[in-house]
Amino acid sequence: MLSGLPSFILMPFAFILFCFNLAFSGTFVFLGGLLKFLIPIKAFHHMLYRPMHTFYRLWAYNNTLIIKLVNPVQWEVIGAEHLSKDAWYLMLANHQSWLDILVIAELARQHTPEPKFFLKESLKKVPFLGMACWALDMPFMKRYSKAFIEKHPHLKGQDIETTKRSCQSFQSNPTSIINFVEGTRITKTKHQTQQSPFNYLLKPKAGGIAFTLATLGEHFDKILNVTLIYPDNRGHIMKDMLKGRLTKIVVHVEQIEVTDALIGDYFADEAFKDNFQLWLNEQWQAKDALIQQLYHQNAQESVVNSQLNQHGSV
């Protein structure tokens, strides 16, 4: 455990370890993507799937080791007991910090298929990044605006069909799609600017989730409502982690059935859009209450532990 080191030493050391881990795993993923590009044979691509995702899992595993190496951190995962690496999931998560990505990756490494992010199709053209994401079968999304469809009605539905084609590998390989529903990390400024009705969350954005369900709804076994909190670290969570000050990570997972009522044309069907937004807001209200409950439980546990420590030192 290195958390006792001064932060001016620990912070750059931890950052270098994370960068080295990303460079190591990323190099092999990029080389795999290059092979996929040079040898456009589906059978060969299928052979590469497992080794490419082994490096993905190795990246997640090493990140967790680094976090534990530099922090006296306790992980508490609730509700993940019956998840399966052979199932298809849509993960909906709140977003507090860049650390959320590493935590989600570790959750997936132990309990679900590797998490994938829907990416804009334009990212395919970004050097190295586009190749690596394509190598890992990240789905690329092409979406037309309502105004564009009105001008080009013959393209209606083509955005979903294009996205479905980019997700063909999901039909044979179990997958988890992650969506940070708020669209950005929460800060006090963003919370105030939005005038969010929630205590611990920003307003949820429904369009991306609805589009994902319209594209892949028939493949998902469950929706996973994932709640992330760092009860002893609020504000600069990633910086606290790099400084060795992260003490607890709480991950709560709720499984939700995928029903026909959640699959529809969000951008053209106003009735469906209203119902979907209502459903998502209800999920977010429940998540906000859960976060308050988790914070309260952690505060009570801290008081009890403090009393026990004082009693033991007498």
For 27-85, write each residue's pLDDT tens digit: 999 899 899 989 999 889 888 888 999 999 999 999 999 999 999 999 999 999 999 99
48-79 b/e (C-beta count within 10 Å ≥ 16 → b): bbeebbebbbebbbbbbebbebbbebeeebeb
- Whether 166 is in a domain gets the answer yes
What's the confidence (pLDDT) of residue 139? 74
- The total domain count for the chain is 1
- Whether 96 is in a domain gets the answer yes
Rounded to an integer, the average pLDDT of 284-302 is: 94
- Whether 212 is in a domain gets the answer yes
Record the tokens describing residue 290, joined without a space: 């859960």
Percent of the chain beyond pLDDT 90?
A: 57
What's the confidence (pLDDT) of residue 175? 87
- Whether 1 is in a domain gets the answer no
What's the confidence (pLDDT) of residue 311? 61
Rounded to an integer, the average pLDDT of 179-198 is: 93
DSSP states of 59-127? HHHHHHHHHHHHS--EEEEES-TT--TTS-EEEEE----THHHHHHHHHHHHHSSPEEE-EEGGGGGST
Rounded to an integer, the average pLDDT of 106-123 is: 84
- Whether 45 is in a domain gets the answer no
Q: Is the pLDDT of residue 226 over 60?
A: yes
Residue 95, number of CB atoms within 10 A of its CB: 19
What's the confidence (pLDDT) of residue 35? 93
**pLDDT band, residue 114 (cuts 50/70/90):** confident
- Whether 231 is in a domain gets the answer yes
What's the confidence (pLDDT) of residue 87? 93
**pTM for this prediction:** 0.87
SS3 at position 259: coil
Per the structure, the complete domain to which residue 108 belongs is given by 72-313
**Distance between CA atoms of residues 14 and 64, nearest Å:** 12
What's the confidence (pLDDT) of residue 167? 65
**pLDDT band, residue 204 (cuts 50/70/90):** very high
What's the confidence (pLDDT) of residue 141? 67
What's the confidence (pLDDT) of residue 42? 85
What's the confidence (pLDDT) of residue 168? 64
From 198, 270, 212, 240, select the one nearest 7 (Cα to Cα).
240
What's the confidence (pLDDT) of residue 297? 92
pLDDT, tens only, 116-170: 877 767 777 777 777 788 888 887 766 655 666 667 676 665 666 666 666 666 6
Rounded to an integer, the average pLDDT of 238-246 is: 95
